[in-house]
């Protein structure tokens, strides 16, 4: 079957699999290997994760990001406990209620202007300890990079971890785009996770060139017991684990994760630069990773969406989101920007 050639800016999930990852999957396809993660490839991945996150780190590959988040949060909480997150957090908005339904926990949400929590914002929901009538705040979850394309600095994550731990709470980091964050910050994974006190990371691969491969990375084993059992009961344990592990191992080999993320970030910067020069369009948020947010007239959006796939983020304001991927090219960006400029030159009703 031949795939039609078209390009979109709706999600980095739309991109194909990086050739080096496809090659890695093919390389592990020979002979037999022990099932359910007791294979040589998963063992090698474990060593690679330790190199990036520290010798105490334990890795549990899963199929998808929702699975990683649900297993992580379930391991970090007891049945009567709750998780503090932003209102825009993926666990709150885009996981179909999976944390509540499958992990059996309560989400305490906090409105934020930029998708980021702070110690002060955490305080708005981290209260009622010992109150039998209130689900007990036990975990803070943050996303890096956030759903609004913003980044936490290393110091900001350190402050959150220090504050949460002082309250007796644990910290989870949703790293669906952790590679884009590290590339943008110019640092390594461990510096904004292990070194500052994050307890568990959902490590993302799919949005950075993998086929379907994410992982629960436990940085503090005392904080998250039983992940191996929870992964199985959550239907996230692959029998032929070597193929899932091979994808993440390929990303962590020869800095493929960094090459892919650096490229997608650069394409987002280029897109913002080109679109920002078009009269009538406002880049609505600072571009810090591989997401571009902009506001434009609804009529223009509707016409553009007939040519390119992308999402309207806020119907009320006309804000849209454009995502760049490891395989986004300069030509893709220039073509998209030219189409936007052409549509903006036609008749439309101004936003607002």
Residue 295 reports pLDDT greater than 60: yes
Tokens of 129: 């300890």
What's the fold here for domain 18-251? 3.40.640
User: Would you state the pLDDT for residue 7?
Assistant: 87
Residue 242 reports pLDDT greater than 70: yes
Mean pLDDT of 72-92: 97
DSSP notation for 277-305:
TSTT-EE-S---SSEEEEE--HHHHHHHT
- Please name the residue that has the structure tokens 């030219």: 338
Task: Give the start-to-end residue ranges of the domains of the chain.
Answer: 18-251, 256-344
Beta strands per DSSP E along 118-270:
136-143, 170-175, 200-204, 214-218
Considering only CA atoms, which of 73, 81, 125 is closest in space to residue 102?
A: 73
The pLDDT tens digits for 8-19 are 999 999 999 999
User: Would you state the pLDDT for residue 348?
Assistant: 52
Average pLDDT over the chain, rounded to whole? 96
pTM: 0.96
Confidence band of 5 (pLDDT split at 50, 70, 90): confident
Mean pLDDT of 178-190: 98
Q: What is the CA radius of gyration of the chain?
A: 21
Of the listed ranges 2-11, 92-101, 264-273, the one predicted with least confidence: 2-11
Interatomic CA distance for residues 168 and 102, integer angstroms: 24
Give the Cβ contact number of residue 133 at 10 Å.
Answer: 5
Distance of CA 181 to the CA centre of its chain: 9
The pLDDT tens digits for 86-138 are 999 999 999 999 999 999 999 999 999 999 999 999 999 999 999 999 999 99
The helix (run of H) or strand (run of E) holding residue 311 is strand 311-314
- Please name the residue that has the structure tokens 């191992």: 249
DSSP notation for 64-95:
SHHHHHHHHHHHH--TTEEEEEETT-HHHHSS
Residue 347 reports pLDDT greater than 90: no
Q: Coil, helix or strand for 218?
A: strand
Pairing mode of beta strands 170-175, 200-204: parallel
What's the fold here for domain 256-344? 3.90.1150
Mean pLDDT of 61-86: 98
User: Would you state the pLDDT for residue 350?
Assistant: 43
Residue 20, class by beta-carbon neighbours within 10 Å (0-12 exposed, 13-18 middle, 19+ buried)? middle
Share of the chain above pLDDT 70, in %: 97
Residue 253 reports pLDDT greater than 90: yes
Confidence band of 352 (pLDDT split at 50, 70, 90): very low
Interatomic CA distance for residues 135 and 105, integer angstroms: 8
Interatomic CA distance for residues 190 and 217, integer angstroms: 11
Confidence band of 3 (pLDDT split at 50, 70, 90): low
Interatomic CA distance for residues 149 and 308, integer angstroms: 20
């Amino acid at each position: 079957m031949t795939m039609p050639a078209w390009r979109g800016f709706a999600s980095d999930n739309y991109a194909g699999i990086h050739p080096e990852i496809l090659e890695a999957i093919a390389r592990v396809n020979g002979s037999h290997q022990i099932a359910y993660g007791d294979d040589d490839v998963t063992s090698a991945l474990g060593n690679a994760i330790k190199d990036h996150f520290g010798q105490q780190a334990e890795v549990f590959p899963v199929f998808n990001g929702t699975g990683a988040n649900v297993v992580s949060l379930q391991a970090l909480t007891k049945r009567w406990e709750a998780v503090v997150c932003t209102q825009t957090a993926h666990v709150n908005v885009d996981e179909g209620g999976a944390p509540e339904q499958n992990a059996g926990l309560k989400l305490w949400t906090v409105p934020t202007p930029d998708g980021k929590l702070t110690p002060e914002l955490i305080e708005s929901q981290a209260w009622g300890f010992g109150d039998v009538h209130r689900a007990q705040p036990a975990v803070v979850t943050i996303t890096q990079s956030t759903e609004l394309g913003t980044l936490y600095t290393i110091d900001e994550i350190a402050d959150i971890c220090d504050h949460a731990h002082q309250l007796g709470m644990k910290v989870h980091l949703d790293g669906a785009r952790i590679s884009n964050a590290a590339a943008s910050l110019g640092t390594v994974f461990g510096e904004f996770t292990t070194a500052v006190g994050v307890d568990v990371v959902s490590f993302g691969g799919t949005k950075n060139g993998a086929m379907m491969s994410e992982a629960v990375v436990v940085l503090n084993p005392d904080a998250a017991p039983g992940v191996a059992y929870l992964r199985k009961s959550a239907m996230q344990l692959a029998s032929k684990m070597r193929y899932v592990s091979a994808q993440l191992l390929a990303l962590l080999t020869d800095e493929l994760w960094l090459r892919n993320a650096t490229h997608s970030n650069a394409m987002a910067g280029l897109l913002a630069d080109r679109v920002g020069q078009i009269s009538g369009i406002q880049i609505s948020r600072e571009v810090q990773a591989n997401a571009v947010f902009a506001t434009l007239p609804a009529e223009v959006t509707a016409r553009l969406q007939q040519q390119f796939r992308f999402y309207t983020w806020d119907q009320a304001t006309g804000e849209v989101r454009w995502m760049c991927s490891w395989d986004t090219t300069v030509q893709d960006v220039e073509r998209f920007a030219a189409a936007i400029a052409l549509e903006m030159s036609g008749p439309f009703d101004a936003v607002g």
